[in-house]
Structure 1
Amino acid sequence: MSQLTESPTSPASIPVTETPAAPSVPIAPAVDVALLGEQLMGRWGDIRRTARTLAARADMKRVEGQSMLEHRERVMGQLHALVTEKAVHRAFPISVGGNENHGGNIAGFEELVLADPSLQIKSGVQWGLFGAAVMHLGTEYHHKKYLPGIMNLEIPGAFAMTETGHGSDVAAVGTTATFDTHSGEFVLNTPFRAAWKDYLGNAAVDGRAAVVFAQLITQGVNHGVHAFFVPLRDENGFLAGIGGEDDGLKGGLNGIDNGRLHFTDVRVPRADLLNRYGDVAEDGTYSSSIASSGRRFFTMLGTLVQGRVSLDGAAVVASKLALTIALTYGSERRQFTAGSESNEEVILDYQRHQRRLLPRLATTYAMSFAHEVFLAKFDGVFSGAHDTDADRQDLETIAAALKPLSTWAALDIIQESREACGGQGFLVENRLTSLRADLDVYVTFEGDNNVLLQLVAKRLLTDYSRRFAHAGPGVMAQFVVDQVNEAAINRTGLRSLVQNVRDFGSTARSVGNIRDEDSQRQLLTDRVQAMVAEIAQHLRPASKLPKVEAAALFNSNQNALIEAARAHGELLQWEAFTDGVHAVGDEGTRQVLTWLRDLFGLSLIEKNAAWYLIHGRISGQRALAITSYIDDRLLPRLREHALDLVAAFEFTPEHLGASIALGAEKQRQDEARDYYRAQREAGVAPVAEKNIGRSERA
């Protein structure tokens, strides 16, 4: 083999002095606002934007200071505008002029909260509850007879389920519908005061009909709660046998005419039983395609889950609105000369202000991503694409998990945003006080939040017991064993991991381990599973106890059940947020969202640090390290991107409607700074008394 040789004078032999490479400076990540906005708008982004265009119109927006009667009249007029704009037909059957677009329909209605929550809820009563009950619980006969009038608002209606004495316990309502075989009619009665239908939108003034939920009794047998189409009023007022009252002024949502209804021997034609799941023949014989009365009841109620879907989504939109106002104001309002003798600091630069708002921004992003998953699940069920019994049960569980978390969080976020804006936040013109008042009731209607979380906990216990019904103590002790498949994750949100959660020891490593995505998942998942396993062990004797003792045992674990369900809902949100991060193509945006996701996950662990410490999942050192990492690393990083993160919500000035988020505060602050700067430059600024002695000493 020959060798390649070089002569002494060849270029390769001449020493070359290389210029040292400039040290690499990491490029700070930037948020692609347009890309992120498109992702947040989700699958039905075009419908959301169409709804927002409508919500931005002056005639659709709330007028502050109106009387209750004026507000009600305005909102009813706005409902007619929704009909004119064909904004109400999307979910209804094609046979009556609808589009059968269930997910898009909910997405559009959620955005109406930007105009006025009263408008969003009253439209939801008319088309999402009253109309949807006729659509989902009725048959083709009811669709053709009633849906066109419901859709075009010729038949304003109420959804008469809740009673003064029974709200969340629908199965125990007192109103009865007894079949009279001689007349072929049902006889509707409210036998006592607590059975009056209450808190019903459209009942006090506008409603001409209602879907009334009552105990169906025929041939001496109570077949449980069924729904009936019942006319209420004509141009002269209530029809014979029907009475009612106005609920009057409320703590919020006063554009809705909530009222009470009661019935005395009201005759309802047999054909007006909404009989998709249960029917009565002319001779009074009852029949149903669902043999189990319990399963039949939950199937009927499950068709009406869209109310919880829309409340979850509206709470997310309202949270985004509040944070956009508060973070914009915080980036412009100046207070105290902490780091300068002359310039006051922007309040969002203070760590405490960041602590107040940025974790709530992270929560809002988690809620937003989770809602899109929830909405897609809802659309899959109601479009028929994924409509098995398991799918419907999963949808009901997700609804019962997410609606409480988002509505509670919305109240917290709006209130903290109000306080973060000081006196300006208390002015009605800046929207936050009215928004807080209107969303207050979201936490109790369409299911009280605590009751809903109890339903989630029961589902978790059911899944747990099915898996471990015949397991011995050794298997029970190793509950966290292996990774479950994606289908199971979608159903329950529970993940089993390869190893038990353990603390990794040194302080130096603690933050790095917790910051890792898999470690966050491990800690959040293990908490849910450990809580469910512990409760299951406590309740294990219940099946062998007398009813009274079993109920007492369950009651003694009720709070733990609700806390486990809350943890499960938070895990669902974290998983959805993480999936959303992975879906981002832009590297800078993905990095910022990762920090925001970490803030959400670590804030959950920090909030529940006592549980993790008591159960030996983390050490005291690690708990301290989590707080330090949030304060010293995540908050400063995210502070630089806060305005971009809210800009991605795509709100226009017409949507915000708050002067402090539209430049008024910046103008005031700039004027003040210019004034003092001019004084200093002209040498006419007075000397502060505290500086006189200092100057003399110098």
Structure 2
Amino acid sequence: MADAVRTKKPSTSKRTPAGGAPTAPHTADEARAANASEPRIDVDRVNDLLLGTWAETRREARELIKDPAFWRIDGQSMAEHRERVLSQLHLLVDAGGSRRAFPKEYGGLENNGANIAGFEELVLADPSLQIKSGVQWGLFGSAVHQLGTKKHWDAWLPDIISLKLPGAFAMTEIGHGSDVASIGTTATYDPETEEFVIHTPFRGATKDYLGNAALHGQAATVFAQLITGGVNYGVHCFFVPIRDADGTMRAGITSEDDGVKGGLNGIDNGRLAFDQVRVPRFNLLNRYGDVSADGTYSSDIPTPGRRFFTMLGALVQGRVSLDGAATTGAALALDIAVTYANQRRQFDSGAGTAEVVLLDYGKHQRRLLPRLATVYAHAFAHDEFLQKFDGVFSGRTDTPAEREDLETLAAALKPLSTWNALDIIQECREACGGSGFIAENRLVGLHHDLDVYATFEGDNNVLLQLVGKRLLSDYAKQFRGKDAAALARYAVGQTAGKVFHGAGLRQLGQAVTDLGSTRRSVELGLRADQQHELLAGRVQQMVADLAAALRPAAKLSPAEAAALFNLHQAELIEAARAHGELLEWEAFTDAVNRVAHTAEADPTAEGTARVLTWVRDLFGLSLIEKHLAWYLINGRLSTQRAGSVSRYIDRLCARLRPHAQDLVDAWGFAPEHVRAPIASGAEQARQDEARAYYAALAASGAAPVSEKSLKKK
């Protein structure tokens, strides 16, 4: 690309030459040739940073799925796709991929963080493989492991790990998705036979959308209302055999196939209904609640609400893995789109020069580069999230407070990453034009498969509502017992970082690491401390305003209080979303500062720190631009400063343009992971061929003249 014809117009800026995009550096090498002080990232260093704490496991998983046996084949029938994915699960078992999270006594590795990290990478092979493996070992197997006790582990874990016992996770019902507490399936204890009777009392209580339910599952972990002695003790989990080894349904159990879905058709999703199905008392997964032979219920957790949330919290890893897999899927889409945009040419500059590379257009930069910054933010936040998950599930930091924080964090980050993945993949698809719509280039398939991630493991809006309630609760705790004067002084002196981080990646009062050390990177723009002040201040004010609006609820009837809450539900969800965005910005800043601190001893890291600071600033300013109306309405930005935010973003996009390929290459995807012809170098070869043809034609003297040139004469 360096041989592009340059305009003769004088430059108006060292960074944005007059004459437009064709004169801009296309690569970091070009940029450094033009300006020796131009920084460049160390791609390998950034790859280590992006892969995070369990980088070795991620690389092992990526090496495994270079084998074409793991790749999705577009155009397969649903039946063929399902059988292929089942065979891939057996290959994972052979490679040891199913053992990471389980106890060493059963051949496991007891490494929860590595387990999630490894499974997330499978999205590069086929999202159906990633999700079906998650169903088998992350949901079905995890329910036995996390909700059962040693007698259950001895009975079932070895066969679950080896895939000799494939199973379904039967929580969701047709009539109740995110509202698990209200499910209709019952498990009524019969003391005469010491059995539980599992029953579906009406159509809406049928379990639905269950992976492995339509064909492959031989058992299910069934969530049902536990009833004994005429008392409903709430939702508990039961191990229920559903098929014989030859695929024959067990008596009293009916299965229906969900059929073709919008994506993930390699998974045999289906429905299960139970007609007075009896299972032994042994089959109650009784870690958090038990029933004695005579029907007496007991639990170490005295309140039903706390018991319910503890049981569900034991299964949070589904949300953790979706957060990471969505981030990886979005990164893959950007790798394809940015690589293509660096090679595909379209339209000349208007000055008779060579056709312009797509990424040289300002709008194309605006479409892709802020989204690239967003995926970087997701990656850094996810690694901190995964560290917290591993601490809790390993037992190192397993306290009720830590589990509550983990649940809140999962509910905050999973919605952002899954929603953004859909936005990013769709924008990448459009940015690749018709080529993006061809199945072999993967973008359409990625969008179809990741679409349901927004409602998997909890609808995103419902999850954010949980976060909002936690923010309100934490906010209220700050003011208990304070008089009005003290309250006013408190409000003036606090920042969102001090008030809200107990529900996030950091503990109460812990600020983002060495915020002041980040270098200023946007001339006349919003520095790191200013970005943080705006993002954190937005969270603080939104929660404070909500608390004030909902304060009258304490004196209202339950119906009136519910109506008042409903009136402000959208605001609550938006505050939770703002909180998640703040956490991501802070995680990104911490990652930048780790590199900056390294640069003090290793000058080669200086360029990496500078470029990553620009990317972080692009993320932060894009968030501020997205919410610009709020900042103006609430007097947080002047109209003059607000009007300049978009110009700062344009400047950053132009500055990052030469680094775009390095930034996507830093994800470390090999050709076997990308598998998109438009990102394989084939487009560059086509462009080179075309340019060589026209150059040779011009040199031959036989090139036809244009009609326009004749008219000028």
**Does the alignment reach a TM-score above 0.5?**
yes
- 2:634 maps to 615
State yes or no: 1:603 paired with 2:615: no
Matches for 1:488-507 after TM superposition, within 5 Å: 489=501, 491-492=503-504
1:232 paired residue among 223, 242, 248: 242
- CA distance in 1 between counterparts of 2:414 and 2:117 reads 15
- CA distance in 2 between counterparts of 1:514 and 1:187 reads 66
Secondary structure of 1:468's aligned partner: coil
- 2:53 maps to 43
State yes or no: 1:451 paired with 2:462: yes
State yes or no: 1:32 paired with 2:42: yes
Secondary structure of 2:222's aligned partner: strand
- 1:625 maps to 644
**Aligned letter for 1:689?**
E
Displacement of 1:341 = 1.2
State yes or no: 1:562 paired with 2:581: no
Secondary structure of 2:619's aligned partner: helix
- CA distance in 2 between counterparts of 1:33 and 1:683 reads 45
Secondary structure of 1:237's aligned partner: coil
Gap regions ≥5 residues in structure 2:
1-33, 512-519, 599-604
- CA distance in 2 between counterparts of 1:512 and 1:474 reads 41
- 1:169 maps to 179
- 2:688 maps to 670
- CA distance in 2 between counterparts of 1:319 and 1:270 reads 45
1:403-454 CA-partner distances (Å, limit 9, x unpaired): 0000000000000000000000000010000010000000001000000000
- 1:359 maps to 370
- CA distance in 1 between counterparts of 2:492 and 2:88 reads 53
Secondary structure of 1:91's aligned partner: coil
1:352-398 CA-partner distances (Å, limit 9, x unpaired): 00000000000000000000000000000001111111100000000
If asked which structure has higher relative contact order (CA below 8 Å, sep 6+), I would say 2
2:347 paired residue among 328, 336, 356: 336
- 1:252 maps to 263
State yes or no: 1:481 paired with 2:500: no
State yes or no: 1:72 paired with 2:90: no
Secondary structure of 2:410's aligned partner: helix
1:328-363 CA-partner distances (Å, limit 9, x unpaired): 000000011115414100010000000000000000
- 2:24 maps to none
Secondary structure of 1:211's aligned partner: strand
Displacement of 1:489 = 3.2
Query: For the Cα contact (< 8 Å) 1:460–1:532, is it kept in 2?
Result: yes
- 1:9 maps to none
Say if 1:31 and 1:512 are closer, same or farther in 2 by CA, change over 3 A. Answer: closer
Q: Structure 1 vs Structure 2: percent identity of aligned residues?
A: 63
Query: For the Cα contact (< 8 Å) 2:219–2:239, is it kept in 1?
Result: yes
Matches for 1:53-68 after TM superposition, within 5 Å: 53-68=63-78
Say if 1:349 and 1:512 are closer, same or farther in 2 by CA, change over 3 A. Answer: closer
Secondary structure of 2:238's aligned partner: strand
TM-score (normalizing by structure 2): 0.91
Say if 1:510 and 1:544 are closer, same or farther in 2 by CA, change over 3 A. Answer: farther
Query: For the Cα contact (< 8 Å) 2:499–2:509, is it kept in 1?
Result: no
Gap regions ≥5 residues in structure 1:
1-23, 499-508
- 1:541 maps to 552
Displacement of 1:485 = 8.1
- 2:514 maps to none
Query: For the Cα contact (< 8 Å) 1:481–1:497, is it kept in 2?
Result: no
- CA distance in 2 between counterparts of 1:59 and 1:510 reads 46
Secondary structure of 1:640's aligned partner: helix
- 1:551 maps to 562
1:159 paired residue among 147, 164, 169: 169
1:424 paired residue among 435, 439, 449: 435
Say if 1:153 and 1:348 are closer, same or farther in 2 by CA, change over 3 A. Answer: same
Query: For the Cα contact (< 8 Å) 2:497–2:536, is it kept in 1?
Result: no
Say if 1:287 and 1:513 are closer, same or farther in 2 by CA, change over 3 A. Answer: farther
Say if 1:190 and 1:246 are closer, same or farther in 2 by CA, change over 3 A. Answer: same
TM-score (normalizing by structure 1): 0.92
Structure 1 or 2, whichever has the larger Rg, is 1
Secondary structure of 1:217's aligned partner: strand
Aligned residues: 661
- CA distance in 2 between counterparts of 1:487 and 1:545 reads 27
Query: For the Cα contact (< 8 Å) 1:479–1:529, is it kept in 2?
Result: no
1:20-54 CA-partner distances (Å, limit 9, x unpaired): xxxx9761001100111111111111110110111
Query: For the Cα contact (< 8 Å) 1:511–1:626, is it kept in 2?
Result: no
Displacement of 1:693 = 2.2
- 2:333 maps to 322
- 2:288 maps to 277
RMSD, aligned CA: 1.9
Query: For the Cα contact (< 8 Å) 1:577–1:597, is it kept in 2?
Result: yes
- CA distance in 1 between counterparts of 2:569 and 2:521 reads 34
- CA distance in 2 between counterparts of 1:83 and 1:489 reads 40
1:268 paired residue among 279, 289, 313: 279
Query: For the Cα contact (< 8 Å) 2:475–2:500, is it kept in 1?
Result: no
**Aligned letter for 1:658?**
A
- CA distance in 1 between counterparts of 2:389 and 2:486 reads 35
State yes or no: 1:646 paired with 2:657: no
- 2:195 maps to 185
**Aligned letter for 1:570?**
E
- CA distance in 2 between counterparts of 1:210 and 1:25 reads 63
**Aligned letter for 1:73?**
E
1:152-185 CA-partner distances (Å, limit 9, x unpaired): 0011000000000000000000000000011110
- 1:203 maps to 213
Secondary structure of 1:268's aligned partner: strand
- 1:8 maps to none
- CA distance in 2 between counterparts of 1:473 and 1:514 reads 38
State yes or no: 1:588 paired with 2:607: yes
- 1:142 maps to 152
Secondary structure of 1:515's aligned partner: coil
Say if 1:76 and 1:423 are closer, same or farther in 2 by CA, change over 3 A. Answer: same
Query: For the Cα contact (< 8 Å) 1:168–1:447, is it kept in 2?
Result: yes
- CA distance in 2 between counterparts of 1:339 and 1:580 reads 42
Say if 1:472 and 1:492 are closer, same or farther in 2 by CA, change over 3 A. Answer: farther
Displacement of 1:627 = 0.7
- CA distance in 1 between counterparts of 2:503 and 2:65 reads 35
**Aligned letter for 1:492?**
G
Query: For the Cα contact (< 8 Å) 2:221–2:240, is it kept in 1?
Result: yes
Say if 1:403 and 1:424 are closer, same or farther in 2 by CA, change over 3 A. Answer: same
1:56-107 CA-partner distances (Å, limit 9, x unpaired): 2100100110000000000000000000111110000111111110000000
- 1:18 maps to none
Query: For the Cα contact (< 8 Å) 1:157–1:206, is it kept in 2?
Result: yes
Query: For the Cα contact (< 8 Å) 2:61–2:121, is it kept in 1?
Result: yes
- CA distance in 1 between counterparts of 2:197 and 2:666 reads 55
Query: For the Cα contact (< 8 Å) 1:90–1:98, is it kept in 2?
Result: yes
1:219 paired residue among 229, 246, 250: 229
Query: For the Cα contact (< 8 Å) 1:484–1:496, is it kept in 2?
Result: no
- 1:397 maps to 408
Say if 1:110 and 1:470 are closer, same or farther in 2 by CA, change over 3 A. Answer: same
